[in-house]
Amino acid sequence: MDQLFERLKTPSDSKIVLMVLDGLGGFRTPQRGSELFEAKTPNLDRLAKEGSSGVHTVVAPGVTPGSGAGHLALFGYDPLKWELGRGALSAAGIGFDLQSGDVAARVNFCHLDDEGMLTDRRAGRLPTEENERLCLKIREQADLGDIEFFLQTEKEHRALLVLRGEGLSPLVTDTDPQAIGVSPLAPAPIDESAEGTAACVRNFLDQTKKILEGEKANFLLLRGFDTLPDLPSFDQRYGLNGIGIASYPMYRGIARIAGMEVPSSAAGLDGTLQALREGWPSYDFMFVHHKATDSAGEDGDFDRKVAAIEEVDAMLPEVMKLQPDVICVTGDHSTPSQMMEHSWHPVAFVMWGSRIPADSVETFNEEAARQGGFGSVMAKDLMPHMLAAAGRLMKFGA
Window 104 to 163, contacts with a second copy (CB under 8 A) = none
* Angle in degrees, CA 138, 139, 140, rounded to 5: 90
Give the nearer residue to a second copy in terms of CB position, either 261 or 381: 381
Instruction: Write down how long the chain is.
Output: 398
Binders of a second copy in range 169-188 (CB under 8 A): none
Residues whose CB is less than 8 angstroms from the CB of residue 7 and which lie 6 or more positions away in sequence, other chains included = none
The residues in 303-362 that bind a second copy, with binding defined as CB under 8 A, are 336, 339, 342-345, 355, 357-360
The CB-side HSE value for 398 (13 A sphere, CA atoms) comes to 0
State residue 236 phi and psi, 5-degree precision.
-65, -40
Site string for a second copy, 21-50 (x = CB under 8 A): ------xxxx---x--------------xx
- On whether the CB atoms of residues 167 and 227 are closer than 8 A, the answer is no
Give me the least distance between CB of 31 and a second copy, in Å please: 9
User: What is the DSSP track for 16-34?
Assistant: EEEEEETTBB----SS---
The amino acid sitting at 280 is: W
**Is the CB of residue 276 less than 8 Å from the CB of residue 322?**
yes
* Position among 10, 40, 42, 80 found at the interface with a second copy (CB under 8 A): 80
Residue 103 or 138 with smaller CB distance to a second copy: 103
CA distances from 272 to 140, 148, 174, 387 (A): 39, 37, 38, 23
The answer to whether 301 contacts a second copy (rule: CB under 8 A) is no
* φ/ψ of residue 220, rounded to 5: -125, 140
- Provide the minimum distance between the beta carbon of 203 and a second copy in the complex, in angstroms, as a whole number: 26
Asked whether position 79 contacts a second copy by CB under 8 A, the answer is yes
**Is 217 in contact with 153 (CB distance < 8 Å)?**
no
Candidate ranges 1-9, 145-153, 169-177, 214-222; the one touching a second copy (CB under 8 A): 1-9
Figure out which of the listed residues 6, 83, 270, 299 binds a second copy, where binding follows CB under 8 A.
83
Residue 73 CB, nearest approach to a second copy (Å) = 10
CA dihedral over 96, 101, 106, 107, signed as positive or negative: negative
Asked if 233 touches a second copy (CB under 8 A), the answer is no
**Comparison of 37 and 212: residue with beta carbon closer to a second copy:** 37
- What mask of x and - would describe binding to a second copy in positions 370 to 389, judged by CB under 8 A? xx-x-xxx---x-xxxxxxx
Q: Choose the binding region for a second copy from 117-125, 157-165, 193-201, 365-373 (rule: CB under 8 A).
A: 365-373
How far apart (Å, rounded) are the C-alpha atoms in residues 378 and 76?
10
Q: Which residues bind a second copy (CB under 8 A)?
A: 1, 4, 8, 27-30, 34, 49-50, 55, 59-69, 79-80, 83-86, 89, 224, 336, 339, 342-345, 355, 357-360, 366-367, 370-371, 373, 375-377, 381, 383-389, 393-398
